[in-house]
Structure 1
């Protein structure tokens, strides 16, 4: 999504848009690699305002996605929603210190632009990526797969736990050392 800087005033401007995943190469690559499947286009809502020496963009991005549960490997659909605020400054105003400086909260949500347009697409993709779970779970009570026979413990009960000793070194139970 491109925002024209000259159109931004000190009055809040609200923008809503819908963008396809194909418009965001990082998200498309994630889907092409099989990490997830996006089930809807990105739904975007922004409020944009010029403040002092920067432009503040507050936004919400939401999308439906299908993920594979990290415990039972079942596919499930969920909604992702990320709210964010970004402060854009002209690139000529960029501060580059000669020594280490502790960054404050404002610097962590800052970005720079050049010319007459601001491309918000990289930040949109970043916030979708932030919302993707590292270990997706279909439910918080998911029992996963049996480590011995591979049965889905959410739908069936296996007898492996009754027959095995459950110890990490059970393979060594019949091991004999000759002297």
Structure 2
């Protein structure tokens, strides 16, 4: 889904967005057809503004129990695509403004809508996907899904990230 600047006739071009090969795919799978549009406006000889919307049904694993969770991401986006080098890359310290995150520097006058859509899907995903807020997750010992019922494992007090510190403290208390 590449659009060359010279293909934007009359300063504006509308493209329908489908899921033809750009979809992220590794951790996130498509759960249905993608619907979206992108409007490309030529604002200068070397600059195009891209405004778009996406409705993306996705399937990703629950962060606790690993069951697949389906959700729909409704996304609105804006990019300013400029042919040239990023002048900010030469500066050592710089304040990052919102418009900096919306600016894409291109080596040639071609907008890759697939790359922009892929980035937007990854940015729109929740930090932690859960099948429900009450999800109990998996047993840390046997891997059983605790949402299906309890497992036969005995609760261990010596697991977890601070178990080694607790043993050190217990040994120290016994020695004094």
- TM-score (ref. length: structure 1): 0.68
In the alignment, which of 105, 110, 122 is matched to residue 98 of structure 2? Answer: 105
Task: Check conservation: 2:138, 2:146, Cα contact below 8 A.
Answer: yes
User: 1:100-138 deviations in whole A, cap 9, x for unaligned?
Assistant: 332322222101234443222222111112223443211
Q: CA deviation at 1:37?
A: 2.7
> Residue 56 of structure 1 aligns with which residue?
49
Residues 1:95 and 2:87 are matched in the alignment: yes
Asked if residue 84 in structure 1 is aligned to residue 81 in structure 2, the reply is: no
8 Å Cα contact 1:8/1:49 also seen in 2: no
In 1, Cα distance between equivalents of 2:113 and 2:92: 30
TM-score for the superposition, normalised by structure 2: 0.69
Query: Residue 5 of structure 2 contacts residue 42 of structure 2 at CA under 8 Å; is this kept in 1?
Result: no
- Structure 1 unaligned regions, length at least 5: none
Q: Structure 1 residues 70 and 19, CA, compared in 2 at 3 Å: closer, same or farther?
A: closer
2 CA distance for matches of 1:43 and 1:144? 33
- Asked whether the 8 Å contact 1:45–1:61 carries over to 2, the reply is yes
In structure 2, stretches of 5+ residues that fail to align are none
Matched ranges for 1:1-179 at <5 A = 1-6=1-6, 7-10=8-11, 13-20=13-20, 23-24=21-22, 27-28=24-25, 30=26, 35-51=27-43, 54-91=47-84, 94-96=86-88, 97-148=90-141, 150-157=143-150, 164=155
CA distance in 2, matches of 1:41, 1:76: 16
